[in-house]
Chain A
Amino acid sequence: MAIFPPQTRIWWNEPVAKAELVWIAVAFLWGLFMFFMMIYWHIYGKQNLSPVVGRIDPAVFEQRTSEFAEKFKVREEGNLGIPVAKPTAGGDAYMLARTFEWWPVLELEKGKSYKLHLSALDVQHGFSLQPINMNIQVHPGLEHIITLTPTEVGTFGVICNEYCGLGHHVMTGRIYVVEPGQGR
């Protein structure tokens, strides 16, 4: 029994039953398969996070984001007037996280690729694009650049899903996706 010492003193020489060996082999091969699946997806899959990352001073990131918002602003929204920026297709887009907002709102075109720059100014936040359900961690001091291609038109919420303080649940942002060549 498992609460007594092994019955055979030299237990490591005991034969192992075939069924056990079969299961160990199957489980091992399945593990290998799952391992190579991740590598396969890096080569052939379309959903991978980029390793393009750099250290960045939060103040610099804030500066770049406001310049970006200034340059591409198409309108303002909400009673506080959040800018909505519509970057050129194929170009760079910036979104910053700070307690407790995602800034600015973006308007993207369906089927076009954008280089989305994400970073935080204060604490960590969680970029959670809904209802797509795509979730990326955002750190202060690290800039994450993701090439993103929206495939559907609509209004998408950006939720914060990394606890960032007592206002965590009011932290929302937005991304609009429109048909190419059209606005809202």
Chain B
Amino acid sequence: MTDAAIPANVLGTLAAKFRTCPATGLKVDLAAERLIKANAVAAVVFLMIGGIFGLLVALTRWPAVHLLSSDMFYLVLTAHGLDVLLLWIIFFEIAILYFASAIILSSRIAAPRWGWVAFALMIIGGVMTNIAVLQGDSSVMFTSYPPLKAQPHFYLGLILFAVGALIGCFIFLGTLVIAKEERTYEGSIPLVTFGALTACIIAVFTIASGAIILIPTFLWSVGYISHIDTLTYKLVWWGMGHSSQQINVSAHVAIWYLIGAVTVGAKPLSEKVSRGAFLLYIFFLQLASAHHLLVEPGLSSEWKIVNTSYMMYLAVLGSMVHGMTVPGSIEAAQRKNGYTHGVFEWLRKAPWGNPAFAGMFLSLVMFGFLGGISGVILGTEQLNIMMHNTIYVPGHFHATVVTGTTLAFMAVTYLVVPLIFQRQIIWPKLARLQPYLFGLGAAGISVFMMGAGTLGVARRHWDITFPASDVMLPHGYPPMASLMMGLNGLSAILAATGGALYIAITVGSILFGKKVDASNAAASLGPMPKKIVRDAVTKYGDAGTWHLPGTYVLVALFFTTFVLYYFVNWKYLSELWPMQ
């Protein structure tokens, strides 16, 4: 063994092998690349399974269709939540962590063998939990509130999966250390990596919460512990369940910046502001568990108010800042590209035909307008009384985690396939359509579920018609509610079509796409805006050279909507029966 080989062996077992990316010039560690591929493929497979379950759920909740039997419905709903929220999202996030560390920093990945151990644990855990659910004795929903009890392997699978994900997080952190020591980059880590680091830190916290609660619950399910306190369980479980949503937000915001950079050449308006906004997530995320406890007995209002608002809405502030800096950096870049006419030429002439850009911008707008605003309303202590556990809640989080996170992940796939899998996207015309189809469908399920929720429709509920033959004290929701659930079903078909298209395009491209090489690398990333002028001499996106009137208008529109909707809800609340 030569001396030179030793440093490379400290964390990795074999000296790393690299290729050079023809499109970006980055050095690509082949071990990292294999891990990214494996995790991304697993993610897409679970999206497919979970997406089919989602469609079945939505069709059952459409009163005129009412597809599944009640037992099947609760089983499938449990599986849907697990497969999409945990497996799809987290497998993809692990791929993002490896990408944002090893690839973006041109570093070798830390301990690739451990990466495979992590992957194996996650697969075994995910499959084990799925089996438990499909066997039919564990229809407890993915939240598994005790004293509802699932089979032991339901919890065991989740624990194994979490351990795997935790190892993935440490590999990411280890890679950052290696990159720093081996000086693969100059100065500070790029903003995208910083966003991924935020996601990783939050992930470590949430996985710890998950372990604290799931391990005792597992022991309880096998009979070693006699009692799990229902309120404590919820408090700690949501320390994982809700805080982990901040992982998704950090990850998809990082992707917004990434896609903005690759497609239109966007630079952060201010590194300080964007990084500061990520920091706010890290500082205040732990408090979010309260969002699920606002109408619970046993917790004081003081506790609820401080926690639900993330200590005076400081994590919300983080998102509102990104909500300006992301479109702002795109506007600034487009103006530098030469699109300076009027307020919105930069937006009109953005590369809407590039599925990466289109998906990213739709994700940004819908996450803010649909998911963000409804989330703050839901998280307001008293307003929550009107929405807790109604289908407004799934409406809200399909706006965050489907139109926001999932659409952003789909968008970045159109860059990952050519860059990492080195294959061109097959069917570019259909690919161009895909983000719109899926985005529209997902927006539909969000909006219509929220609409039905304001009419009182319960979430996780097999039959909202309460026929007198089944229930002792029948009740009817207003007819509008059935209409909303029907429109939800139609939107679900649209979203499922968009989702199926995504899977077909991704899998098809990986298997049959044309190889990407130096000759076609740039073109493989999809249509880009034509640069009318050469880069202006500015260091920062904004740099005082450009005003960003379009962004100001968008932000003002967002803020007005937010404020109006906020007060409308207080008005509705004031009409409820007085209660103390």
Contacts and interface: CB of A to CB of B under 8 A. Distances in A.
A110 B33 CA distance: 68
B579 A28 contact: no
B479 interface: no
A35 B309 contact: yes
B577 interface: yes
Tier of interface size on chain B: 35 or more
Contacts of A57: none
B390 A161 contact: yes
A135 B390 contact: yes
A7 interface: yes
A137 B74 CA distance: 20
B548 A19 contact: yes
Interface string A23-53: 1101110111011011101100111111101
Nearest to B468: A78
Contacts of A45: 382, 573-574
B487 to A, nearest CB: 20
Interface in B323-343: 324-325, 328-329
Contacts of A42: 301
B270 to A, nearest CB: 5
B566 A166 contact: no
A137 B381 contact: no
Contact of A38 (B188, B260, B265, B382): B382
Nearest to B463: A169
Contacts of A41: 382, 570
Interface string B15-47: 000000000000000000000000000000000
A123 to B, nearest CB: 5
Interface residues of A, number: 90
A141 B474 CA distance: 28
B216 interface: no
User: What secondary structure prevails in chain B residues at the interface with A?
Assistant: loop
Most chain B CB neighbours (cut-off 10 Å) among A2, A131, A149? A2
A49 to B, nearest CB: 6
Given A5-B190, A38-B305, A39-B305, A47 B466 contact: no
A112 to B, nearest CB: 11
Given A6-B188, A122-B147, A49 B473 contact: no
B295 A137 contact: yes
B242 interface: no
Contacts of A101: 472
Nearest to B296: A137
B473 A78 contact: yes
Given A38-B381, A157-B473, A2 B390 contact: no
B312 A32 contact: yes
Contacts of A126: 388-389, 458
A160 interface: yes
Contacts of A151: 577-578
A166 B192 CA distance: 45
A97 to B, nearest CB: 12
A83 interface: no
B267 A1 contact: yes
A6 B187 contact: yes
B270 A20 contact: yes
Contacts of B390: 128, 133, 135, 161
Given A123-B147, A132-B577, A165-B148, A139 B298 contact: yes
A135 B385 contact: yes
Given A16-B270, A35-B309, A146 B141 contact: no
9 contacts: A2-B267, A5-B189, A24-B321, A31-B312, A82-B472, A105-B473, A148-B578, A172-B472, A172-B475
Given A30-B563, A123-B146, A146-B579, 17 more contacts: A6-B190, A20-B325, A24-B317, A34-B376, A47-B385, A47-B577, A47-B579, A48-B382, A48-B580, A49-B382, A53-B297, A78-B473, A79-B472, A133-B386, A134-B579, A136-B388, A137-B295
Query: Sorted from nearest, which 8 A-B pairs have the closest CB atoms?
Result: A31-B313, A157-B475, A161-B458, A144-B297, A2-B257, A46-B578, A1-B261, A11-B271
Interface of B: 70-71, 74, 104, 139-141, 145-148, 185-192, 230-231, 257-258, 260-262, 265-274, 293, 295-298, 300-301, 305, 309, 312-314, 316-317, 320-321, 324-325, 328-329, 376, 380-382, 385-390, 454-456, 458-464, 466, 470-478, 539-540, 542, 544, 547-548, 551-552, 555, 559, 562-563, 566, 570, 573-574, 576-580
